[in-house]
Structure 1
Amino acid sequence: MSLDKRARALGQWLVLGSLVGLVCGVASAIFLFLLEEATHWRTGHEVIVYFLPLAGLVIGALYGRWGAPIRGGNNLVIDTMHEGGERIPARMAPMALLGTVLTHLFGGSAGREGTAVQMGASLADGVAHRLQVSPTTRRELLAAGIAGGFGSVFGTPIAGTLFGLEVVSVGRLNYEALVPALVAALVGDFVTRSLGIHHTVYPAASSLALSPGVMGKWLVFGAAVAAVAVVFVEGVHFLKKRLEKALPSLALRMALGGVLVVVLWKVVGTSDYLGLSVPLIERAFVDPSLPSETFALKLLFTVLTLGTGFLGGEVTPLFVVGAALGNLLARLLGLPLELAAGVGLAALFGAAANTPLALSLMAVELLGAGVLPHVVIVTVTAYLLTGQRGIYPAQRIARFKQGGPLLERLLPLRELDERSRRP
């Protein structure tokens, strides 16, 4: 390719990536503002949590009436990137935003990355169709939308870039979308911050020399993270499938989920596990007396919320679970508390989402370079030990985790799961 063509290609991606980043940044800023307001309102009026079953009934009815084309959520985005097809419906962005804000307002334990990715991809696909770009360019803009949404909602543009490249396929990076994804993530993060959004600041991880003994501890740590990731992934998938058979109505499934979360809330006797639970993450970094069961309770709240159909993502809840697990393992293995909490925070989602590189970089952006190489060791170990599973069934396997050649065709995780369950 001549220098002139390379320059034109770079100019195209600077323009298109910036446009995608702009809309993603604005959408994330609106979303994060509404999410913060909803959280503040709930914490000041906790009686509203009792109405979570009713909220589930209403949200489920709305999605049952108008949300059928977008019910796949992140999986719809991944399928579209691989298969093309019709434009991702424009309604995905506002409906995902509304459903997630309502989930948090009434106390559901969910995250925000799912909504950010769906908004980003929907808006990016709108740009692609408005400009009538080629199918190849469309796929690259969808990756940019994922990167822009993820990077701007967490304030981690480099991790967002890599997430947009890594989440689509297991065992292969989508390098052709590197430039637009990077531009969209950087611009999206800049726009979100410029609109007055402030992200959570975590303590910088302390440095720790990597000795054979320390490495052995991290391998044990990685195995524990993998076990928790498997419980989470299988728990959410199991609950979804069983309830879909028993209760075909999404509204009734969500109402039931609301009842279960309210009952668990009253049994546990604390509101710490409702919503994002960011204060629990902050405690995990500094509190050696954090209850040992914290990670398990947050996991249970989240499985019940997401498994019954409520809107949101998995990242922040898994950050809580991972940080609390890291806090516990730090005390058991004799590791620095803040370092172990930070490693657990990143590694659990990296293993569950099959994105170990993106989450290792995210740990660096959030916690500083002191977290390296520890987070890479744990995240890669957990990623390998979780096997061929993940929170996104639409992910394609390009190469099995245990090694071997590239597969002749990209194999959806859901198809592999179906094969494993056949008698």
Structure 2
Amino acid sequence: MLLKYKNFFSVLGLWIIFGSIIGIVVGSTTTFLLETNDYLGDDIRLKRDWLIFLLPFGGIIIGYIYMNYGKVFLNNTWNDTAKLNNLVIDSVHGKKEVPRRMGPIVYFGTFITVLFGGSTGREGAAVQMGGSVAATVNKFFKVNKFDKKILMMSGISAGFGAAFGAPITGAVFGMEMTALGKLKFEALVPCLTASFVGHYITTAAWGHKHEEFIIQTVPEISIITFIIVILLSIIFSLISVLYCQLRHWIEKFSEKVFKKNHMKRAFFGGIVIVVLTLMVNSQDYNGRGLQMLEQSFIEDVPPFAFLAKLIFTAVTLGTGFVGGEAIPLFFIGATLGNTLHTLIDLPMSFLAALGLIAVFSGGTNTPIAAFLLAMEMFDGKGLEYFFVACIVSYLFSGHHGLWPSQKIYEPKSRLYNTLRAETIENVETKKKL
């Protein structure tokens, strides 16, 4: 019995130590990512509209890097860093390995995308850096195969918690992102440690301040309001499916047309973004679009802003540019909620917040993390409505999502008639066949 407890505390101690190491490194690198992105996007690009015309050439640089340095042969298999979050998910499932070079490559690609006006976020780079750091810790300390997967989850948690200033969400997101219908609670301690350490390194040690979104008014609880929230959540979930499907279709189409030549794909995608920017005569949908995202909580935005951002981001990431998809999902959901305010007699900031969280839940297939994000982001306001919105959006989005490598351990409903242990990519392929 004494030996059992000794082994238990030994493993627990190692997880806390490894989680702390991952959190410290990822928190520091994420701060660099956030500060550099803000400088490139806000201080440089927004003051120089002409930089958008260099986006196609930035795409060539990104494509060249991924084609020549992005593929690494490890453990008898090729690991392509251009698969981004999908490679991190595959590594958790033991199918692939995350190369140590993935972090620096995705950071550089994200900086180029942001500087020249690609429509993307930045948290994806933080998650992938988390995976890269976790892989380095695994290799340096010669961690066993079982614990490797847990520490990879910790890397995801550290990246998300540090990037959004949401440590509790980050802890759960690291466990929930990789699979539908299954949470590996054994990973909770290292994930929680990595997420909290990453968050506090970013905010307390380096002093980074995250953006804040404030709900002015939350409607009183009533059956009618709950019904409206459910109906709206279905709409938000369908929008998340539309984005995911369009983004994946563009990726497959561009790979087919350009025969998987990353340089040609990104160059063409850059041209399309330039044309779209000239057509709308605005750069509101380039970069993160944070200004309009914040505006959607306090005043009217263009009624079709959500659709414009959806198309801009799908083209940017679908043709090989690099960046995160959470902020674009926030933008799409919040601006759609803002637009629906003209039709529905509910507070504008509440509808914007509801759209932000529901679209994120449906797109990422992480309803628990999405609910916790709402609690951390909006100080616990409207928790009953957000809980319902997350669950409804998750269910109605079906087996679609941002990351085709997500494994379905348990179908969302028996009505979907989906086999267990299938990936989202396999399910979608079988549907088409």
Bin of the TM-score, shorter chain as denominator length = over 0.9
Question: How do 1:264-413 residues align onto structure 2 when only pairs under 5 Å count?
Answer: 264-287=276-299, 289-403=300-414, 410-413=421-424
Q: CA RMSD in A?
A: 1.7
Q: Which digits, 9 at most, give the CA deviation of each residue in 1:126-161, with x for residues without a partner?
A: 001100011111111000000000110111111111
CA–CA separation in structure 2 for the residues paired with 1:158 and 1:406? 33
* Distance change (3 Å), C-alpha of 1:407 and 1:99: same
Q: Which digits, 9 at most, give the CA deviation of each residue in 1:196-239, with x for residues without a partner?
A: 21110111453332211001100111111012111101100111
Partner of 1:82: 93
Question: How do 1:22-33 residues align onto structure 2 when only pairs under 5 Å count?
Answer: 22-33=24-35
Partner of 2:206: 195
| Aligned residues of 1:29 and 1:195 also touching (Cα < 8 A) | yes
| Aligned residues of 1:350 and 1:356 also touching (Cα < 8 A) | yes
Partner of 1:125: 135
Q: Which digits, 9 at most, give the CA deviation of each residue in 1:382-408, with x for residues without a partner?
A: 111111111100000011111489988
Deviation larger for 408-417 or 241-250 = 408-417
Q: Which digits, 9 at most, give the CA deviation of each residue in 1:251-294, with x for residues without a partner?
A: 1110111111111111101111110011111101000x321111
Pick aligned residue for 1:34 from 33, 36, 55:
36
Partner of 2:254: 243
Partner of 2:74: none
What TM-score results when the alignment is normalised by the length of structure 2?
A: 0.94
* Distance change (3 Å), C-alpha of 1:406 and 1:361: farther
| Aligned residues of 1:70 and 1:92 also touching (Cα < 8 A) | yes
CA–CA separation in structure 1 for the residues paired with 2:163 and 2:195? 10
| Aligned residues of 1:205 and 1:342 also touching (Cα < 8 A) | no
Question: How do 1:164-203 residues align onto structure 2 when only pairs under 5 Å count?
Answer: 164-193=174-203, 194-203=205-214
| Aligned residues of 1:225 and 1:322 also touching (Cα < 8 A) | yes
CA–CA separation in structure 1 for the residues paired with 2:376 and 2:106? 27
CA–CA separation in structure 2 for the residues paired with 1:377 and 1:101? 37
Q: Which digits, 9 at most, give the CA deviation of each residue in 1:288-314, with x for residues without a partner?
A: x32111111111111110111100111
Q: What is the DSSP-based 3-state SS (H/G/I as helix, E as strand, rest coil) of the residue aligned with 2:182?
A: coil
2:16 corresponds to 1:6: no
Q: What is the DSSP-based 3-state SS (H/G/I as helix, E as strand, rest coil) of the residue aligned with 1:78?
A: helix
CA–CA separation in structure 2 for the residues paired with 1:106 and 1:377? 39
| Aligned residues of 2:67 and 2:262 also touching (Cα < 8 A) | yes
CA–CA separation in structure 2 for the residues paired with 1:205 and 1:189? 26
* Distance change (3 Å), C-alpha of 1:325 and 1:407: closer
Paired AA for residue 27 in structure 2: G
Q: What is the DSSP-based 3-state SS (H/G/I as helix, E as strand, rest coil) of the residue aligned with 1:28?
A: helix
| Aligned residues of 1:168 and 1:174 also touching (Cα < 8 A) | no
Deviation at 1:9, TM superposition (A): 3.0
CA–CA separation in structure 1 for the residues paired with 2:401 and 2:325? 11
Pick aligned residue for 1:16 from 18, 25, 50:
18
CA–CA separation in structure 2 for the residues paired with 1:222 and 1:406? 23
CA–CA separation in structure 1 for the residues paired with 2:88 and 2:222? 42
Deviation at 1:366, TM superposition (A): 0.9
Q: What is the DSSP-based 3-state SS (H/G/I as helix, E as strand, rest coil) of the residue aligned with 1:375?
A: helix
Paired AA for residue 101 in structure 1: F
Partner of 1:92: 102
| Aligned residues of 2:408 and 2:424 also touching (Cα < 8 A) | yes
| Aligned residues of 1:152 and 1:185 also touching (Cα < 8 A) | yes
Deviation at 1:323, TM superposition (A): 0.6
What TM-score results when the alignment is normalised by the length of structure 1?
A: 0.96
CA–CA separation in structure 2 for the residues paired with 1:9 and 1:331? 55
CA–CA separation in structure 2 for the residues paired with 1:127 and 1:62? 25
| Aligned residues of 2:85 and 2:124 also touching (Cα < 8 A) | yes
CA–CA separation in structure 2 for the residues paired with 1:263 and 1:234? 22
Pick aligned residue for 1:161 from 154, 158, 171:
171
Unaligned runs of 5+ in 2: 72-79
Deviation larger for 61-70 or 134-143 = 61-70
Deviation at 1:331, TM superposition (A): 2.8
| Aligned residues of 1:398 and 1:406 also touching (Cα < 8 A) | no
* Distance change (3 Å), C-alpha of 1:259 and 1:219: same
Deviation larger for 323-332 or 127-136 = 323-332
Question: How do 1:226-237 residues align onto structure 2 when only pairs under 5 Å count?
Answer: 226-237=237-248
Pick aligned residue for 2:267 from 255, 270, 277:
255
Deviation larger for 76-85 or 245-254 = 76-85
Q: What is the DSSP-based 3-state SS (H/G/I as helix, E as strand, rest coil) of the residue aligned with 2:273?
A: helix
Partner of 1:61: 64
Deviation at 1:379, TM superposition (A): 1.8
Paired AA for residue 365 in structure 2: N
Unaligned runs of 5+ in 1: none
CA–CA separation in structure 1 for the residues paired with 2:342 and 2:172? 32
| Aligned residues of 1:219 and 1:378 also touching (Cα < 8 A) | yes
* Distance change (3 Å), C-alpha of 1:406 and 1:226: closer
CA–CA separation in structure 2 for the residues paired with 1:397 and 1:83? 15
